[in-house]
Amino acid sequence: MSPTARRLKLRRSGTCAICTQSLSAGEMAIWDSARRHARCLGCEPESLPSPPPSPADASVSEAGASARREYERRRADREARVRERFGALGGVVLALSDEPQHQRAWARGAEGEAALARNLERWAADHGVVLLHDRRMPRGRGNIDHLAVGPTGVKVIDAKRYRGRIDVECRGGLLRARTEHLIVGGRDRTKLVDGVIAQAEAVRQILAKGPHATAPVQAVLCFVDGDWPLLRRFEVRGVPVLPPRRVSKLCAADGPLDAATTVTQIAETLAMHFPPAEPHARLR
């Protein structure tokens, strides 16, 4: 058996590369990441052990769940305030008024995280990438939107759903230190880069305590929406700024962590130290 082959549930239907038997989505089969093909269990000459449980099996988390809970909390608080103020007319006032932008932003954020998760699961999971969504930081009230553990190491991904043109502006020069600034819709959003760098550093600190201290850890900022200039790739302070499809390709690329067991062990460690964000957790 090839060391790049493993038994898993297929995410898409296909055909066995050996006997050409049809394989259905959700069916257990052998996926060979090196040969990029699937085989039915009957065509595997060697007995394979059952696949290791997903690191998230014991503590399932849903992409965007924290942001969605925060949206629901804010919506309920606003509804209670309006009904208290207007009494019987409260329902009419709510029906005729628009949601505040700061409230709707949480719903949009949740939708963006879920959209990126679907993209990652579609394009990266079949490449031996383990995905953890909506994980709570060990200290503080923040959360990590996505952790992708694969052959290239750990990608710490912060998903944003902002509108407007995305660009990087360089400031300073001869008399001042040169600095890079992330501009989205004409506004300076460089603090987003600072945030995901801090998240990646928290992951490095956890891995530094165990046998995988040298595993690469990279911060990535993903904008689900936004106006992307053609043929331009952005990076701010070493952090790639990418749309969802390019984030998925980055996670699925080949890298130094060839052994599936190593990827699984790292993912299990991170799942333990970064548990699913709790319902009462408040986001950054």
As a whole number of angstroms, the distance between CA 2 and CA 34 comes to: 9
Res 53: pLDDT: 42
Would you call 262 helix, strand, or coil by DSSP?
A: helix
- Are 171 and 184 part of one and the same domain? yes
Structure tokens at 55: 């690191």
pLDDT of residue 201: 96
For residue 13, what are the domain limits? 1-51
Residues 41 and 58 in one domain: no
**CATH number of the domain within which 21 lies:** 3.30.60
Query: Same structural domain for residues 47 and 71?
Result: no
What is the chain's length? 284
Q: Is residue 101 part of a domain?
A: yes
Q: Is 200 a domain residue?
A: yes
Phi and psi at residue 35, in whole multiples of 5°? -85, -10
Treating both helix axes as pointing N-terminal to C-terminal, what angle do 65-86 and 101-123 enclose, rounded to 10 degrees? Answer: 160
- CA nearest to 40, candidates 27, 29, 48, 31: 29
The per-residue pLDDT for 56 is: 43
Burial class of residue 120 in the structure, from the number of CB atoms within 10 Å of its CB (0-12 exposed, 13-18 middle, 19+ buried): buried
Q: Which of 71, 241, 63, 51 is nearest to 147 (CA)?
A: 63
Q: Which of 116, 100, 104, 107 is nearest to 67 (CA)?
A: 107
Task: State the pLDDT at residue 212.
Answer: 92
What pLDDT is attached to residue 269? 92
Please give the C-alpha separations between residue 175 and each of 3, 168, 180, in angstroms, as whole numbers.
55, 20, 16
Tell me which residues of the chain have a pLDDT lower than 50.
1, 46-59, 280-284
Same-domain status, 153 and 222:
yes
Task: Say which DSSP state 87 is in.
Answer: G
Q: Quick one: 141 and 29 in the same domain?
A: no
d(CA 274, CA 136): 5
Are residue 26 and residue 61 in the same domain, yes or no?
no
Contact indicator for 44, 30 with CB cutoff of 8 Å = yes
CA–CA distance, 68 with 256 (Å, rounded to integer): 36
Sign, CA torsion 175/179/181/187 = negative
pTM, to two decimals? 0.72
pLDDT tens-digit series, residues 11-40: 777 888 777 788 887 788 887 765 667 888
pLDDT at 35: 66
Strand ranges in 161-216 using DSSP code E only, listed in sequence order: 166-171, 179-184, 187-188
DSSP class of residue 88?
G
Q: Do 47 and 67 fall into the same domain?
A: no
The total domain count for the chain is 2
How high is the pLDDT of residue 222? 94
Are 132 and 45 within one domain?
no
- Share the mean pLDDT of the chain: 83
In a domain, residue 278? The reply is: no
Q: Is residue 14 included in any domain, yes or no?
A: yes
- Do the domain assignments include residue 280? no
Same domain membership, residue 83 and residue 45: no
218 and 236 assigned to the same domain = yes
Query: Exposed/middle/buried for 9, CB within 10 Å: 0-12, 13-18, 19+?
Result: exposed
Q: Is 279 among the domain residues?
A: no
Q: Is residue 4 part of a domain?
A: yes
Same domain, residue pair 26 and 76: no
pLDDT of residue 48: 43
pLDDT at 278: 64
Is residue 18 domain-shared with residue 124, that is, in the same domain? Answer: no
3-state secondary structure of 214: coil
Q: Letter for the amino acid at 57?
A: D
Q: Is 28 inside a domain boundary?
A: yes
